[in-house]
Amino acid sequence: MKTRVFTIGLAAILLVLAAGAGGLYAYDSSRSDVIARGITAGGVDIGGLSAARARDVLRRSLGPKLGEGVFVRWHQHGWRLRAADINARLGVNRMVREALRRSREGSFLDRAVRDLRGHKVRASVPLRVAHSPRKLHSFIDSVAKAIDRQAVSATINPSGVALNPTPSHDGIAVQRRFLAARILRQLRDPSSHHFAFVPTRTLRPHVSSSRLAYKYQTFITIDRAHFTLRLWKDLRLARSYRIAVGRQGLETPAGLYEINDRQVNPSWHVPNSAWAGELAGRVIPPGPEDPIKARWLGFYNGAGIHGTDEVSSLGTAASHGCIRMSIPDVEQLYTQVPLHTPIYVG
């Protein structure tokens, strides 16, 4: 008898529990479209709202802010990016789906008990904004077009009278990926001021002005028209010398060369030319018969800079293609001109 009573009691208890569980399940099912209390989306409290109501609240709360777009600034320049320019729109459906997913986590018993006891989920869904990447990149391209500047390397454009150096300049380039991220971050932050500075990076020239001066620590220019040799140090004029250049028909060759031969008290290797007469092809050692005095700085096909004791020829076109200097001048020049020094004959 006692066993029967126990069995009946247990069955009654189980029936009550089943009925209660069924009631909780039915209650939870009835709230499948309701967002749990405590959940926010884009900073807006949508807890306790139905999905349809939450979408409406999000549009009214966040839509006007998104519509302001973003103001982009670089120094004194500014650009207004409207939301419509990049098809920016609230992802309300996505936010509500995420909020419902967070609301439905756990078992139906947990959810039903949580709701009946008034507990909150404490979850935050970020503001979702959809946009056209192509239109955003097009906007950034227009900003970059106004800002980007190529770096300019330092160069020289020598003439007979000057080196004509062009100084280097740094360039600047918009960091496009970072700018896109900043713009989207402003659009997706409901508390932002919708303002973004344009990030840029400095472009360094391949050849800076200081690098150019280091490369051309020594340079020679020949001004044939005014019979002047100029010595340049670190792109600055260091000294000018009176010279003689090649006569008509045997002109000193114009162009850019480099010093490829340096000699002290050189011998004269007479060219095999008609003007040399019976001396053609001979080697005249240093002495009275050697017209190449004191020093030799060769630069092209037998042409070079040397001293002469015919100082009366300086300031004229008198040589057979070489550049003549007074002996003291060529001795002084020689000490300042290393091998491979560039020389421009103009």
* Least reliable range by pLDDT among 28-37, 72-81, 256-265: 28-37
The predicted model gives 284-294 an average pLDDT of: 87
Bridge-based pairing state of the strands 293-300 and 261-264? antiparallel
Tell me: pLDDT of 20 over 80: no
Tell me: pLDDT of 18 over 80: no
Q: What is the mean pLDDT of the chain?
A: 90
- Torsion (CA) 12, 16, 22, 23 in degrees, nearest 10: 150
Query: Tell me, what's the pLDDT at 1?
Result: 61
Query: Tell me, what's the pLDDT at 104?
Result: 84
Query: Tell me, what's the pLDDT at 15?
Result: 52
Tell me: pLDDT of 26 over 80: no
Point out the catalytic residue in the list 131, 194, 306, 320.
Answer: 306
Point out the catalytic residue in the list 131, 194, 320, 322.
Answer: 322
Record the pTM. Answer: 0.71
pLDDT tens-place string over residues 249-269? 999 999 999 999 999 999 888
Buried b / exposed e along 29-47 (16+ C-beta atoms within 10 A):
eebeebbbbbbbbbebebb
Does residue 306 have an active-site annotation?
Answer: yes
Query: Tell me, what's the pLDDT at 17?
Result: 47
Tell me: pLDDT of 14 over 80: no
* Least reliable range by pLDDT among 63-77, 111-125, 291-305: 111-125
Bridge-based pairing state of the strands 342-345 and 218-223? parallel
137 membership: H or E segment, kind and range: helix 133-147
Does residue 193 have an active-site annotation?
Answer: no
pLDDT tens-place string over residues 85-130? 999 999 999 999 999 998 888 777 777 677 777 788 889 999 999 9
Q: Which residues have C-beta within 8 Å of that of residue 197, sequence separation ≥ 6?
A: 72, 73, 74, 182
Query: Tell me, what's the pLDDT at 117?
Result: 77
- Torsion (CA) 38, 41, 43, 48 in degrees, nearest 10: -30
